[in-house]
Amino acid sequence: MLERLNEALDHIEAHICRRIEVTELARIARTSEYHFRRMFSALAGISLSEYIRRRRLTVAGAEVLTGERTLLDIAIRYGYGSGEAFARAFRAVHGVGPGEARRDGAALRSQPRMSFRLIVEGSSSMRYRITEKEEFHVVGKKARVPLVHQGANPAIAEFIRGIGQETIRRIAALSDQQPEGIVAVCDDLDPSRAEGTELDYYHGVVTQADAPGDLDTLVVPPGTWAVFEDSGPYPEALQLLWRDVFTQWFPSNPYQSRPGPEILRTRLSEDGTQADTELWIPVERVAVSG
């Protein structure tokens, strides 16, 4: 899998001056566009679109400094419709405009070319199982919140505080299947999964029951799920688990992620610093070549 991802990175470099289609990158990597975007952001730490933008403007920056082409020629060469659009994008990455950089010989920022490799430490094993589920409902309260990669999410914490204990008890009583009890459900994430992009967050339960009128419902179609279990400091261990699923488990197993909500079942220690967690990721099996 990582070899094919690196072939996709080679394609980006070979076409850095042209429009790069994510569908073509996914074809090279032999995976879905959805899974390719998610895998890339997990491995690289930035979204695919941001990486391409930074690489393109890194290469364009070198041409700006050489002075062999006009700034307008460079703008057009790298896909910008006008000198002004190029200047805005250039300044956003390098902190100075292209004219200023050429005139003053300014130091520019560089996005190194990436390649992926898998480091196998062998110090621990990942506990997981594969399960099939029929259609079910997520019933609870929903809010649109920003994505936070590390540490607690203040928007989610404030949202949960505002629900009220009586409502939470009514929601909990609807739970009738795994994962049992109150769960956190993330849905409709931006494909880039960039920090600060928004998602639908449900504080609810997994159930076959219909929702009372004052609660929100997410209908989840039948499908295959990978369920990962972990214990450790909260929320750091959970966030590391999500990273490890995409950087270690997916490259080593014949599955890819598919569209659908991510479900987290968390049981906190009394002081709230430790947690036992189950992370449910929607997946689909892929053919193994050879």
User: SS in 3 state form for 9-22?
Assistant: HHHHHHCCCCCCCH
| Domains by residue range for the chain, with CATH | 2-104 (1.10.10.60), 127-285 (3.20.80.10)
Question: Cα(172)–Cα(216) distance, rounded to whole angstroms?
Answer: 14
Closest alpha carbon to 169 in 108, 212, 232: 212
Residues 183, 204: contact at Cβ < 8 Å? Answer: yes
Q: Which position has the token pair 């990597």?
A: 29
Give the pair of three-digit tokens for residue 220.
Answer: 């989840």
Give the pair of three-digit tokens for residue 236.
Answer: 């750091």
Number of helical H runs and strand E runs in the chain: 11, 9
Q: What is the per-residue pLDDT for 158?
A: 94
Q: What is the pTM of this model?
A: 0.74
Each residue's pLDDT, cut to its tens digit, for the chain (290 residues) gives: 678 888 999 999 999 998 999 999 999 998 999 889 888 887 887 889 989 999 999 999 999 998 889 999 999 999 998 999 999 999 999 999 999 989 887 778 888 888 876 555 444 456 889 999 999 999 999 999 998 877 778 999 899 999 999 999 999 999 999 999 999 999 998 877 777 889 999 999 999 988 888 999 999 999 999 999 888 888 777 777 887 888 778 877 889 999 999 999 999 888 888 889 999 999 999 875 54
